[in-house]
Structure 1
């Protein structure tokens, strides 16, 4: 079993309040969940309206497949326009 985990940090230039941030993230996360089979959630920068840290995870049988799946999700999230990707940390675990 192969588990892929990626931590993403985004700048949210259009968000001035936590309410703006929640609205932008909800849209982004809902679209990612509906299109890809990954677990995704906010894992850091919870009180900062100008940035967000997201954690994504997926499971598979092959390291290449897991890596490709996470790459697709990251590309999708980065191309959304609501958030600017500033940092990415990827870890693949063979269990």
Structure 2
């Protein structure tokens, strides 16, 4: 069994409060959960209103499959357009 882990830092445009930020982040998290079989959550910068850190993970028996899934999720999040991805850290255990 192999586990893929990824964290992403997001800079969120055009938000003026934590409430607006949480709306954007929650929307992204729910869309990833419904489209991919992955665990995802906001894991950092929870009190900063223009930045967020999200983390997600996948489990598989194939390194190739994990790499493909993580990259698909990353590209899906990057295409959102409401924020800029400033840092990505990926690890397969």
Shorter-normalised TM range: over 0.9
Counterpart CA distance in 2 for 1:8 and 1:84 is 10
Aligned residues: 93
SS in 2 for 1:70: helix
Offset at residue 6 of structure 1 (A): 0.2
Offset at residue 45 of structure 1 (A): 0.4
**2:55 equivalent in structure 1:** 55
**1:7 equivalent in structure 2:** 7
Counterpart CA distance in 2 for 1:78 and 1:61 is 26
**1:28 equivalent in structure 2:** 28
Structure 1 runs of 4+ aligned residues shifted over 3 Å read none
**2:72 equivalent in structure 1:** 72
Unaligned runs of 5+ residues in structure 2 are none
Give CA deviations for 1:37-80 in whole Å, capped at 9, x if unaligned.
00000000010010000000000000010011010001000101
Unaligned runs of 5+ residues in structure 1 are none
| Pairwise CA RMSD | 0.6
Q: TM-score, normalised by structure 1?
A: 0.95
Offset at residue 26 of structure 1 (A): 1.2
Offset at residue 83 of structure 1 (A): 1.7
